Amino acid sequence: MELAENLAGIQTRIAAACARAGRDPASVELMAVSKTHPPEAVREVARLGIRLFGESRIQEAKLKIPQCPGNLRWQLIGHLQTNKARDAVQLFEMIQSVDSLHLAAELQKRAEAASKTLGILLEVNVAGESTKFGYRPDQLLIDLPQINAFRRLEIHGLMCMAPYATNPETIRPVFRRCRELARECESLLGAPLPVLSMGMSGDFEVAIEEGSTLVRVGSGIFGDRPPPETSESGFQQSDG
């Protein structure tokens, strides 16, 4: 069974990275990123013991989540448009991709209307890549107190995506900067921010060595995603 082997391999590598960094493996949570993959694949990974799943697009999640076991936890990791904030509040326990005060205000409003508390991470674009979403660190520090004042939102920490690199060693400073920024945010708020969501299939080991507490692994578990043009799963949506 391929998924079982993939998952076991990832878990072994997480444990090894923790050992290298002198960290307890229980301090790193594994999220299975199921975007583009059908409910059957989610069910299989759930049977192997994974509870936390990540999706990138609202439309896809809306179709998929109701077809999956009810005891799973879902978090949004892709860019969220404010006009989909209401759906996001219904579907997800946590939005990892909050990248503006405007979006946070909309989530607050929708969570209030739903009488819900919503966990959030603030997404940071540490490397300043124009192709990626996420806060510039200086803007994050400016908006943070206002976001923290939203009663229906609970800031759990930061999320970052490193630039693609064939050698993950070259992006170690990005993860390190993200961890430092989380400490700056903690002292600004006077409250702990325990979650650092850093690391994907290609770079999670370096991210763990730099303090990640949540790794988001897609292709490493599910295999390669189909290119959009040839997807036959019915779960490839383009209107994110």
CB of 224 to ligand PLP, least distance (A): 8
Residue nearest to ligand PLP (CB): 218
Coil vs helix vs strand at 152: coil
Distances (CA, A) of 125 to 29, 55, 103, 168: 22, 19, 16, 17
Which residues bind to ligand PLP, rule: CB under 6 A? Answer: 33, 35, 56, 77-78, 161, 200-202, 216-220
Q: Is 86 left (phi over 0), alpha (psi -120 to 50) or beta?
A: alpha
Q: Between 78 and 137, whose beta carbon lies closer to ligand PLP? A: 78
Closest separation between CB of residue 46 and ligand PLP, Å? 18
Name the minimum Å distance from CB 53 to ligand PLP.
Answer: 11
Q: Which is nearer to ligand PLP, 39 or 220 (CB)?
A: 220
AA identity, residue 43: R
Q: Which is nearer to ligand PLP, 168 or 220 (CB)?
A: 220
Query: Is-contact 5 222, C-beta < 8 A?
Result: no
Between 181 and 207, CB nearer to ligand PLP: 207
Q: Where are the beta strands (DSSP E) in the chain?
A: 29-33, 52-55, 73-76, 94-98, 118-124, 153-160, 195-198, 214-217
- Closer by beta carbon to ligand PLP, 78 or else 157: 78
Min separation Cβ 112 and ligand PLP, Å: 27
